[in-house]
Amino acid sequence: MKRDPRDASAAEPDGGNLHVRIQGGPGRGNRPGLLNSEAAAIVKLHGVDKVFHRGDEEIHVLGGLDLEILAGDFLALMGPSGSGKSTLLNLIGGLDRPTQGRIDVAGQRIDDLSERNLAAWRARHVGLVFQFYNLMPVLTAERNVELPLLLTHLNARERRRHVDLALEVVGLTHRKSHYPRMLSGGEQQRVGIARAIVSDPTLLLCDEPTGDLDRKSGDEVLDLLAALNRDHGKTVVMVTHDPRAAARAARTLHMDSGRLVEAEA
């Protein structure tokens, strides 16, 4: 059977080999420029525009954006509210499509994938962490973490193994039967991170992951993201308002009116 290389369903999660395996990413110390085509870019945006329509109004959020992110990078994305940070993160994660331009992530061109193939691609490559955790209140921690695996072919026993491992990585094995309301904000965010890593995605995309946390819980979450980057080879892209959070990243980009500028190292 001939397969279109852009068909993400050709690359289903492989049951035996899932989870935070060491991928040998370069981790910290990797400080590429906005464009650095010699190195192995895991994210490539070329000439990306994003326009939203609200009634008759056109909102030009991103214009002619070029960006490369190397495998194993830990990138912080800062900038004023409304500057397009979440829009950019959503485009990288295949949650939204560009109006114009090309986006390649993890070896796949994603801007022109069908909805079905895009969903399969996302399930395999993208872990999402949100500011307000987005946990299901009626599910226990372990059931919340299991949710992304319901989109894979893993059986119940394999799912349990992956969930246990993810909860162990975030240090919450002892809270697995708790409901979100019984957990602190920091613990809920760590459940959110366990859910994001349970299918062993290539990329972790975090939108203000410490935005709703006190300093101590925020630091714990940042320690965890740094460890996932350093020890598990995850490429991490983190939108943040907090300079303390950005300081944990290997590289910081500032977004202003839809343009990206590299911060001084």
Locate the DSSP E strands across 5-156.
41-54, 57-70, 74-78, 100-105, 108-109, 126-129
Residue 217 interaction partner, one of ligand ADP, Mg ion, none, beta carbon < 5-8 Å per kind: none
Q: Is 30 in the site for ligand ADP (CB under 6 A)?
A: no
Residue 30 interaction partner, one of Mg ion, ligand ADP, none, beta carbon < 5-8 Å per kind: none
Span of 79-87, 171-179, 220-228, 229-237 interacting with ligand ADP by CB under 6 A: 79-87
Q: Is 84 in the site for ligand ADP (CB under 6 A)?
A: yes
Residues 46-75 that bind ligand ADP (CB under 6 A): 52, 54, 59, 61
Taking the least distance from each CB to ligand ADP, the nearer of 100 and 173 is: 100
Q: Which one, of 215, 174, 206, lies nearest residue 74 by Cα?
A: 206
Q: Which one, of 223, 226, 252, lies nearest residue 239 by Cα?
A: 252
Q: Is 86 in the site for ligand ADP (CB under 6 A)?
A: yes
Q: Is 217 in the site for Mg ion (CB under 5 A)?
A: no
Per DSSP, the three-state class of 238 is: strand
Q: Shortest approach of ligand ADP to residue 221 CB, angstroms?
A: 19
- 214 within 8 A of 146, measured Cβ to Cβ: no
Going across the sheet that includes 203-207, the strands are 126-129, 203-207, 235-239, 74-78, 251-256, 259-262
Measured from the Cβ of residue 238, the count of other Cβ atoms closer than 10 Å reads 27
Q: Is 229 in the site for ligand ADP (CB under 6 A)?
A: no
Contact residues for ligand ADP, defined by CB under 6 A: 52, 54, 59, 61, 79, 81-87
